[in-house]
Amino acid sequence: MKHVVVRAAFCAALVLPFAAQAHKMWMVPSATVISGDDAWVTVDAAVSNDLYYPDHFPAQLDQLVITAPDGTTVKPENASTGKYRSTFDLAVPQKGTYRLALVNQGVFANYEVDGQKKRWRGKADELKAAIPANAKNVQVSEMSSRVETFVTQGTPSDGALKPTNKGLELVPVTKPNDLMAGEKATFQLLLDGKPAANLKVAAINGATRYRNAPDEMDTTTDKDGKFSFTWPAAGMYWVNASSEDDKTSVKEAKQRRLGYTATLEVLPQ
Amino acid sequence: MRRLLPILLCVAVTAPVAAADLNLTVEIPQLKVAEYHRPYVAVWLEREDHSVAANLAVWYDMKKADGEGTKWLKDMRQWWRRSGRDQTMPIDGVSGATRPAGQHQLRFIDGKPPLGALAPGHYELVVEAAREVGGREAQRIAFDWPVKVPTHLSAKGTDELGQISLDLNP
């Protein structure tokens, strides 16, 4: 049973954010601006409809990559995956900005066996073994997505924010833990390390359960891949962009689906 | 007479003039709440571009073990953003223990720490208070420095701060 749940969640995670906009993947830390010598954050990670109420699937923590201000990779503690959400704790002893990322690289296949439609998701090197020899109409897509959030102890820094130049990535122009209501924040999106121009970016404040309209804000990246939002109110914003292209690294795949999501906390003035 | 002139000049320059100063009174209001903790308070001077000209006071819980008191410094979120996050606590001559409800008088002398030599310009004095299981409030008083005549300015808090008076002396 557990295996089934995990598999289903994995599927949901993979399909996101390309499937219906209804399912949103996120990580929400207990705090993003931190002081104190013995500081910790606890983080929820899930796929849900409402922001940020775990109501669908937990996020898969085997995708979690945490980068400390000095650029090293650090491990979470007390990681746990439940029915609707995953949680973990993170000690934040270093001064500067930590990047928390769920990095998902995989493939997605549709095929038919004896007239029955089948779907499979997994890692690229498992693809061959996973698709039966008698499968017909095999369509393979490559997936590359990132779900991130940021936590800063003391002064914000950018040692943890270097792009990997793979897939869609965010490069902060405004520091991601220095966001205030009423102020404009600017970021840059990169696709494989190059500016991702003319891409739609959406931002939605949390607590969607308590209002009727999603109040989504939309913008488009400029020729340098840059976009800005002026935050109308304090809150935890879900910022998302997605794209498709044919620059696959898996030879069976004709199409690559890309996604980037960040949860960004905006504090009141 | 010729020999006297330089001496007279020296006297004029070094003659003890009353140093310019800022006299500040911060009122922490008495609150009727079930659980009361003394507020954390930060007082600082901002230039027109919001950069910090001087940290004047930071009152926080210094006694808690393992630096636990520094955990809540970020709740003074304007101060934290403008200056606090760049500091190493405690700040010599600036930080101190939290204070009880009542009026607290502070005097800052031009040329001496923590004020230092304040360059002529437009400033805002900011007082920010944040209370555990309570609220947070910041009040600002704008002024031009230096002043030609003694100047009285004030602001009134609504929740976490009471009357704030700022007397500037030339």
What tokens were used for A241? 């962009």
**pTM listed for this prediction:** 0.87
Mutate which of B40, B61, B81, B136 to test chain A, going by most A C-beta atoms within 10 A?
A: B81
Nearest residue of chain A to residue B78 (CA atoms)? A269
Segment A106-164, tens digit of pLDDT: 999 999 999 899 999 888 889 988 998 899 999 999 999 999 999 999 999 999 999 99
Check A33 against B70: CB less than 8 A apart: no
Q: How high is the ipTM of this complex?
A: 0.83
Helix (H, G, I), strand (E, B) or coil at A86: strand
| Helices (H), ranges, chain B | 4-14, 77-82
What tokens were used for B123? 């400033």
Segment A10-46, tens digit of pLDDT: 444 444 444 444 589 999 999 999 998 789 999 999 9
Segment A46-95, tens digit of pLDDT: 999 999 999 999 999 999 999 999 999 999 999 999 999 999 999 999 99
Around Cβ B130, how many Cβ atoms within 10 Å?
A: 24
**Chain Cα centroid distance, residue A181:** 23
* Inter-CA distances, B154 with B115, B124, B142, Å: 19, 12, 10
Check B81 against A35: CB less than 8 A apart: no
State yes or no: cis peptide before B170, omega within 30 of 0. no
Type of residue found at A16:
L
CA–CA distance, A28 with A40 (Å, rounded to integer): 14
CA–CA distance, A205 with B81 (Å, rounded to integer): 22
Helix (H, G, I), strand (E, B) or coil at B8: helix
Beta-ladder partners of A144: A105, A258
